[in-house]
Structures are given as structure tokens and as C-alpha cells.
Structure 1
């Protein structure tokens, strides 16, 4: 082997390793919600990754989530919250489905961008989507991550 071939292979190996490190670091974090005692059939997960501005993109995918009016006591909306790495609780917004509050298949999704770094995500049933304090009806929650 010539010295140029060795250098070329070494350069290719470095590029390959760098590409792998970047792809591993930029992977989406996927966290499942724990089983719910309030809505036992509800299932879902949260995906978190960073955008080019180093903000956190949070996507939630839910299935079999009962219509909020059918809860006991009934409520008006589901609200997504995060616990930040500074231990603050932040309202991220209201869950909406593609057709009405919840679709016939009881599926819903949520997407937002925040500068806060989440350590836990949870969903509550609320009467007001703009509330600044999470209610006691926690429908779904992740573990701390």
C-alpha cells in the first residue's frame, strides 16, 4: 500500500466515525408514557430532539385516549406540561386531534418547540387550556428522563 492510500483510508475512517457520532448525538429521544389509572386504555409516546437553533422539538403521539368530556369529573381539554431541568412546570399547550377534540379512532398528536429542556412530560385534564398550574387529574405521565 502506498502512503497516499493509507492516508486516504485513514481520512475516510475519520469521516465515517464523525458521521456516526453526529448521527448518534442527533437521534430523537423516544419516551413512552406510563400506564394510566385514569384512562387505562390510553397509550402514547413522546419524541424529543433538537432543532438547528438548539431548541427542543417535542412531539406526542396518543391512541385510545378517551374524550375529555367522558372523564369523571368531565373536563374541557387535555393540556401538555413539562418539568424542566430547572424543576419548573410549564404549560406547553392543548392537545388537538385532526377531527374535533378526538378522532373516532381516539388518536391525537401534539407538536411544539421550546427552549426549555424537559426532564418529564405529563398530560392533565383541564377546564381551561391557558391555566398556569397543572390540575390534579394527571392522565398520562412519563418517568423522569
Structure 2
């Protein structure tokens, strides 16, 4: 009985993990020590769960031109770029972001901004990930 439960659990974990894709952002010229990863999971059509994790991302106040926030922008298939939020700083080493979108993201852009609620990116571009090209 235990082996059947274990087999079912292992199959479920495999299925859940196979529905997600992991992507690495290119190395940033502004914050080169940062390792930024995106995980995209397709949920019920047409929703997508997007999780970002940045390790060793310098505080925006410590940039050469200090800023207040790291803002995350997502481009849809239709070419619409949206401000979808900002990183949550968990500690000095790790920043995270998670959200669900009713469209498939095609590109993710991270900028350092003075205001987190802008309609267009006008701060410092940290990194840009084209999801059509950069599967890990």
C-alpha cells in the first residue's frame, strides 16, 4: 500500500513540475552579481502563474543612480506592456515576486524606478527576458 501511495505521489509531483518552465535572465550590466530566475506555470486556460526570484540583487538605493523600487513589467502576446508589481525584498540576499496573469507572458522586464506605479518604464533597465528564446 505504501508503494502505491509513493508511486502516485511521485507521478503527481512529476506532472506538476512538467507543467512549468524555468528561465534565466541575462546577466545585468547594472547589477552583475544578481541571479534572476523566472518560473512560468500554465494554470487553467488562459492563466499563467509567474514567479521570479532574484538572488544577490543590490538594493535599488545602492545603484549608481539611486532608485526606490525594482518594478516588474510583462509584455503580452498582443504586445501590451504592463506594470505588474515590484520585488518583495525578503532579506539582503533574496527578492521574490509571484502573480497570476490572464494572458501568456512573452517578455519580462525589470527596471529600477523612483515610483512603483508608473504606466511606462522610465528608470534604469536591470534585465530583460524574452520568453520565446530563453528556455533553461
TM range (shorter): 0.7 to 0.9
Q: TM-score normalised to the size of structure 1? A: 0.75
- Correspondence for 1:86: 78
Q: Deviations over 1:77-129 (max 9, x none)?
A: 0011111111111111011122xxxx13x211100011121111111001111
Any conservation in 1 of the 2:41–2:49 contact (CA below 8 Å)?
A: yes
Distance 1:128 1:136 in 2: 9
What are the residue-to-residue correspondences of 1:103-118 with 2, within 5 Å? 103-104=91-92, 106-118=93-105
2:57 is matched with which residue: 45, 57, 65? 65
- Correspondence for 1:122: 109
Any gaps of 5 or more consecutive residues in structure 2?
A: 1-10
Q: TM-score normalised to the size of structure 2? A: 0.80
> Which protein shows a greater Rg?
1
Quote how far apart the aligned CAs of 1:35 are. Answer: 0.7
- Give the number of the structure whose residues are more often strand, by fraction: 2
- Correspondence for 1:54: 46
* Structure 1 ranges of 4+ moved more than 3 A: none
What's the Cα RMSD here? 2.2
Distance 1:141 1:63, change over 3 A: same
Distance 2:123 2:60 in 1: 14
Quote how far apart the aligned CAs of 1:144 are. Answer: 4.0
